């Protein structure tokens, strides 16, 4: 961030507190007084009250029309001026400045006149482009320095934008806010993986090697299922192996008609997780047996295809297991959770990954040691404060429930420094997921399904 002041943006000065109104006043006065003067001068010989009133009305109309034209023509400029005024008022209202008392002589009396002079006003720079607002503040060691490093939530609420990145460098802190998230939205046809990177938005990719495992949270109508379908298509394009588990036998269970390894029964899901754990251990043995085995390298180094286990309605699955345990006095839940824990802790290097999806991230069923290992976390639709906290942990973020389907928040460990707003890829109404997934498998929808319903041998 070693930029010149001009590159940082426009310096906010203390006189910008009423910047917008001052500019409006000057423009209106100019647009009103100039034509009024012309009218009065041209009608000066027969000047009377009627002429004056008529001239005032004409001038007022011209001022309003001209003002609207200027506003439409320079609307983006006025948006920037309003933002700068907001920043200046934030400094004034938060008292982030110092004043000195100055005694000046008064020619009329022997008493000196007391005036206040701004002794310190923080160096704040403002810059705006098509997608971002950048607010850069000098960290000059003043008593307000801690306040300047904790402005993310305040700026989000001021600009109704999302802080996507915070940088501290060369004595400055820079907040980068995204003000037009729709510009970054992809369509599902653009979700084409590049090696092990899945594009989720423009300039935002999920690197499965760097950020293993995922948690997707969303209530009914939030767009969670569509996002999972988008990810499945991307994973198939990546040539990944996929196992789909859907205990509620909803939309994902229908994929059993067009792809293998789809299960929706409790026993089959438990068996699938156990087999994935066993395969993970076998992959480790295989990698160590390779002649080019190198310590510390992961599956991508050896071009081993990744394997994904997608578990939809994860909390509902564990609740069902709990009821089964209460009813039968015996359950696979402890073994199942042990396998899940092993995969999230050890799966990355072997290329075995979990995607857990749920409507609510209940702490009773999604323990902290598992959640913390899920590098990609996405929330869609409306959630409670506790829901956001369970999904993203304790973060300095003011969450606002989205009203549009497919919108929410995302955090990619190692990629996004902060929790940021997210909009899932747009899916046209005529897009048929089953047909596309069938084509990616090179088979028709009528292909006989291969489901995973065997109990399997317990290894966890």
User: What CA–CA distance (Å, rounded) separates 143 from 59?
Assistant: 51
Q: Is 218 annotated as a binding residue?
A: yes
DSSP 257: G
Is 224 labelled a binding residue?
yes
Q: How far is the CA of 188 from the CAs of 193, 402, 414, 425, 438, in angstroms? A: 11, 21, 24, 5, 16
The two most distant CA atoms of the chain are separated, in Å, by 108
Residue entry with tokens 């499965």: 208
Is 221 annotated for ligand binding? yes
9 annotated ligand-binding residue: no
From residue 385, how far is each of 393, 395, 397 by CA, in Å? 11, 12, 11
Q: Where are the beta strands (DSSP E) in 80-202?
A: 98-104, 113-120, 124-128, 132-138, 162-169, 172-178, 197-201
Q: How far is CA 244 from CA 219, 254, 269, 352, 356, in A?
A: 19, 10, 9, 14, 10
Is 171 annotated in a binding site? The answer is no
Annotated binding-site residue? 268? no
Q: Provide the β-strand partners of residue 411.
A: 377
225 is in an annotated binding site: yes
DSSP sequence for 176-233: EEES-GGGGPPBGGG---BTTEEEEETTEEEETTTS--EEEEE-TTSSHHHHHHHHHH
Q: Which residues are annotated as a binding site?
A: 218-225
Q: Which residues are annotated as a binding site for ATP?
A: 218-225
């Amino acid at each position: 961030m070693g930029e010149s002041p001009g590159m940082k943006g426009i310096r906010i000065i203390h006189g910008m507190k009423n910047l917008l109104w001052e500019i409006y006043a000057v423009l209106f006065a100019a647009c009103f007084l100039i034509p009024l003067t012309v009218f009065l001068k041209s009608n000066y010989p027969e000047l009377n009250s009627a002429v004056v009133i008529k001239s005032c009305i004409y001038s007022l109309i011209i001022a309003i029309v001209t003002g609207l034209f200027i506003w439409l023509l320079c609307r983006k400029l006025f948006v920037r001026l309003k933002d700068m005024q907001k920043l200046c008022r934030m400094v004034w209202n938060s008292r982030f400045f110092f004043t000195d008392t100055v005694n000046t002589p008064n020619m009329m009396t022997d008493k000196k006149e007391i005036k206040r002079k701004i002794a310190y006003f923080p160096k704040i720079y403002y810059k705006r482009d098509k997608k971002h607002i950048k607010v850069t503040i000098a960290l000059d060691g003043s008593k307000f320095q801690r306040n300047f490093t904790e402005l993310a939530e305040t700026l989000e609420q001021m600009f109704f934008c999302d802080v996507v990145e915070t940088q501290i460098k060369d004595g400055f802190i820079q907040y980068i806010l995204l003000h037009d998230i729709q510009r970054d939205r992809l369509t599902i046809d653009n979700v084409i993986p590049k090696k092990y990177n899945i594009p989720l938005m423009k300039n935002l990719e999920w690197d499965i090697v760097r950020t293993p495992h995922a948690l997707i949270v969303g209530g009914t109508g939030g767009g969670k299922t569509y996002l999972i379908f988008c990810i499945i298509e991307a994973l198939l394009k990546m040539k990944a192996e996929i196992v789909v588990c859907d205990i509620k036998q909803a939309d994902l269970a229908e994929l059993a008609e067009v792809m293998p390894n789809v299960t929706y029964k409790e026993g089959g899901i438990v068996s699938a997780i156990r087999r994935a754990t066993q395969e993970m251990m076998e992959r480790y043995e295989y990698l160590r047996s390779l002649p080019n085995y190198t310590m510390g390298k992961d599956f991508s180094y050896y071009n081993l295809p990744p394997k994904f286990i997608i578990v939809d309605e994860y909390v509902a699955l564990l609740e069902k297991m709990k009821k089964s345990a209460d009813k039968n006095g015996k359950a696979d839940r402890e073994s199942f959770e042990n396998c899940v824990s092993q995969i999230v802790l050890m799966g990355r290097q072997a290329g075995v990954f979990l995607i857990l999806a749920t409507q609510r991230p209940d702490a009773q069923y999604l323990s902290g040691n598992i959640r913390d290992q899920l590098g990609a976390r996405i929330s869609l639709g409306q959630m409670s404060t506790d829901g956001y906290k369970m999904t993203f942990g304790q973060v300095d973020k003011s969450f606002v429930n989205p009203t549009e389907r497919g919108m929410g928040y995302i955090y990619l460990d190692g990629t996004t420094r902060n929790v940021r707003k997210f909009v899932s890829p747009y899916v046209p109404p005529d897009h048929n997921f089953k047909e596309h997934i069938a084509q990616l498998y090179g088979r028709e929808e009528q292909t006989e399904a291969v489901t995973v319903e065997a109990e399997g041998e317990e290894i966890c």
